[in-house]
Every structure is written in structure tokens, then in C-alpha cells.
Structure 1
Amino acid sequence: MSPARHLVALAAVAGLCLAAPATAAAADSAPSASASVAKAKTYKNCTALNKVYPHGVGKPHARDKTSGTPVTNFKRSKALYQANTKSDRDKDGIACEKK
């Protein structure tokens, strides 16, 4: 299977709508997948962030610093955390954590 046909088959499985390139040269000039990734949203404050992510947003391997029960059910996303790092008051890698 040619690389272009393989890409179209993968897109069909993933539910994406891609047109098959006519030639191999057209496949090389297609935009990369990373170019189509949207920028992570920056929220104005924790109230706005918690409306979408009720338990906060953190780095993939972050651990909540607390003397009580740690928050473990926050959204794990490096890009989303970096866009909202100003909201991480205790600098534990989780922004706007809430039980």
C-alpha cells in the first residue's frame, strides 16, 4: 500500500475527512499534523477553568501537595497546564485543583 493510500485509510478509521493526494509530491507538501493542532486555551481565572475542568488541570505526572486527601482526578495535559500555569498558586504542577 502506498504511503498516500495508507494515510487515507488511517484517516478513514479515525473518522477524519481527508482528500487523497494525487501524487507522492502532493503528499509531501501536505501540512503536518502538528500544524493543525489547536493552541491550548488560556482561562482568565480558576472559576472559568473549573467550569470546563471541575478538578483542575495538571501536568501528566503531577501530584497534589496537600495535608489532606490529594486531588487525583484532574485533567492531565501538559499544553493546557502550561497555558494556565499562572493559576497554579502552590506550584505543584496542578492549576486550579479542586476536590
Structure 2
Amino acid sequence: MARHFIGSAAVAALMVGSLTAVAAPAQAATDFANCDAMHKVYKYGVAKSKRAAKRQVRSGHYRPAVRLKVYRANRESDADKDGTACEVTA
């Protein structure tokens, strides 16, 4: 009976330890100074959603990366307010 309790306690401790390792804080999104700086990291700009990225492709642009946090940090770079910052025309 004692072995079963010790084994269960060890499994529970491992589960809690693995959960705390996964729950690390996320990095803050980068606020780029301008579109040239963004294009060094995200070649075709950043869209806030898959829908916005598809809209860019239909409009004749290259497909941007989809990164909501990066888009929010650089919202001022979305001049036409279409959901994509610093888009590049094909």
C-alpha cells in the first residue's frame, strides 16, 4: 500500500513540474521603427489574421506572416487599415 502511494505521489510531482516548465511567460512583440526594419524580419509584412493574409494574396500582394501580437504592436504601420502592416506588392 505504501509503494502505491509513493508511486502516485511521484507521478503527481512530475506532472506538476512539467506543467510549470511549460507555463513560461511569452516574449513581448517587437515594435519596429518602420517598414524597412519589419521587412528584415518579416519579408512580406505581418497580418493580424489568416483572413487578412488571404485578402492580401487576392489583392496581388505576397502572403504576409500571420502574427497577431506583432501586428498589434505595429498597428500604426497599417496605412490602409486592411489588417496587414507593411504589405509588399507582388
The TM-score normalised by the length of structure 2 is: 0.68
Q: Does 1:79 align with 2:69?
A: yes
RMSD, aligned α-carbons: 2.7
Alignment match of 1:43 (pick from 1, 8, 32): 32
**Cα shift readout 1:33-85 (whole Å, capped 9, x = no counterpart):** 36x1111010000000001101001112312287x52332x110111000001
The reply to whether residue 93 of structure 1 matches residue 83 of structure 2 is: yes
Q: Point out where structure 2 has 5 or more consecutive residues left out of the alignment.
A: 1-10
* Higher helix proportion: 2
Higher relative contact order (CA 8 A, sep 6+): 2
Unmatched runs of 5 consecutive residues or more in structure 1: 12-17, 19-31
Q: Which structure has the larger Rg over C-alpha atoms? A: 2
* Structure 1 consecutive aligned stretches of length 4 or more whose deviation exceeds 6 Å: none
Counting aligned pairs with the same residue, the percent is: 36
Match of 2:56 in 1: 64
Q: 1:39 to 1:89 in 2, by over 3 A?
A: same
Preserved contact between residue 65 and residue 92 of structure 1 (Cα < 8 Å): no
CA contact (8 A) 2:78 2:86 kept: yes
Q: 1:33 to 1:10 in 2, by over 3 A?
A: closer
Q: TM-score, normalised by structure 1?
A: 0.63
